[in-house]
Amino acid sequence: MKTILKFSMLILVLSASLLSAAPSVAPKFKNAKQAAAWVAAEIKKDPAAAAEIAALAAASSPQFAGEITQAAIVAANSSDLGASRIVAAVGKAAPEQLDTAASFAVAVRPEAANEVNSVRAALNPSSSPLDFPGSSSNSGSSSNSGSGGNSQVDPSTPPGSSSSTGGFFNQNQPPVVNPNPATNNNRPK
């Protein structure tokens, strides 16, 4: 009777630990779609371990860190803070992909731009903040000399000649639209 009880308790403890724990190893992924699907499936099993699951996947296949980050945020339905935790975990697992992970995170959760930039600054203090639309951390700051989204508009540039200055899109000059598009509407029927 004692052996049956001990055996039952052992099975109960092992099954409970297996059900509640995040995976300890992620497979090597062949493509981004496979990585995102694995992350989403694992997070559905344990939403509280979203950051750990994303970090495992990014460590096994760092080239898909952006897609892994995006899938983790969507699958966990993360808040701004949750998105920044996922970016931090992926950034620690694949430091060379931190900017990519941050960009993908803000693409899926734009309101988390400030938190994501603060995570990037904490993990890599020498990096300049990414210019995310809607992030107020880089508007009007003096640390934006030479790079960033506050590029100056050249008033001598005619409209439509160049919609970018210094690698950033110039939002002050609208694109030129051709009123007569090249279509085949005038051909005989």
* Measured distance CA(122)–CA(101) in Å, rounded: 15
Q: Please give the tally of structural domains in the chain.
A: 1
* Measured distance CA(78)–CA(48) in Å, rounded: 10
* Measured distance CA(54)–CA(24) in Å, rounded: 12
Higher-confidence residue of 162 and 90: namely 90
What value does the mean pLDDT take over residues 166-176?
57
pLDDT of residue 143: 40
Is 112 within the bounds of a domain? yes
Is 136 within the bounds of a domain? no
Is 70 within the bounds of a domain? yes
What the block records as the tokens of 42 is 């694992």
pLDDT over threshold 90, residue 141: no
Q: What are the φ and ψ backbone dihedral angles of 165, each rounded to 5 degrees?
A: -135, 125
* Measured distance CA(18)–CA(141) in Å, rounded: 49
Average pLDDT, the chain: 73
Is 151 within the bounds of a domain? no
Report the predicted TM-score, pTM, of the whole model to 2 decimal places: 0.59
Per mean pLDDT, which of 9-13, 21-25, 74-78, 149-153 is the most reliable?
Answer: 74-78
pLDDT of residue 185: 62
pLDDT over threshold 70, residue 137: no
Check: CB of residue 153 under 8 Å from CB of residue 172: yes
What value does the mean pLDDT take over residues 120-133?
76
In SS3 terms, 14-61 reads as: HHHHHHHCCCCCCCCCCCHHHHHHHHHHHHHHCHHHHHHHHHHHHHHC
What value does the mean pLDDT take over residues 150-160?
51
Is 56 within the bounds of a domain? yes
The residue segments making up the domain with residue 52 are 30-124
Is 98 within the bounds of a domain? yes
Reduced to 3 states (helix: H, G, I; strand: E, B; else coil), residue 157 is coil
pLDDT over threshold 70, residue 166: no
Is 13 within the bounds of a domain? no
What value does the mean pLDDT take over residues 26-32?
84
The full length of the chain comes to 189
Is 4 within the bounds of a domain? no
In tens, the pLDDT along 68-117 reads 999 999 999 988 889 999 999 999 999 999 999 999 999 999 999 889 98
* Measured distance CA(94)–CA(26) in Å, rounded: 14
Q: Please, where are the H alpha helices in the chain?
A: 2-20, 32-45, 50-60, 65-76, 80-93, 98-108, 113-123
Residue 152 contacts by C-beta under 8 Å, 6 or more apart in sequence?
165
Going by pLDDT thresholds of 50, 70 and 90, the confidence category of residue 135 is low
